[in-house]
Amino acid sequence: MAKNEWILDVLSDLNAFAVANGLSALAEQLDDTRLIAAAEIASLRDEACAPANGKKIRFEPDPGGFGKHQHA
């Protein structure tokens, strides 16, 4: 499991507890919180994969229709 993804399991467990105990507003809030956490974790992962020179990499289709080109 990735470094920060354990929090998603914790939020899921808390959500299950809330649902089982009739805490519907809390369960909805925890669903939203889990989505936000997943998005932030994905964002951190994307930042870690960014090129060191700070330039964004674009992928475009090959003019011949095969594969992809990488443009800095």
pLDDT per residue as tens digits for the range 31-61: 999 999 999 999 988 877 766 666 665 555 6
Mean pLDDT over 2-6 rounds to 86
pTM for the structure as a whole = 0.61
The whole-number pLDDT of residue 33 equals 98
Q: Which two tokens stand for residue 60?
A: 């475009």
Residue 61 CA: distances (Å) to CA of 55, 69, 70: 19, 6, 9
pLDDT band at 65 (very low <50, low <70, confident <90, very high): low
The whole-number pLDDT of residue 1 equals 46
The whole-number pLDDT of residue 4 equals 87
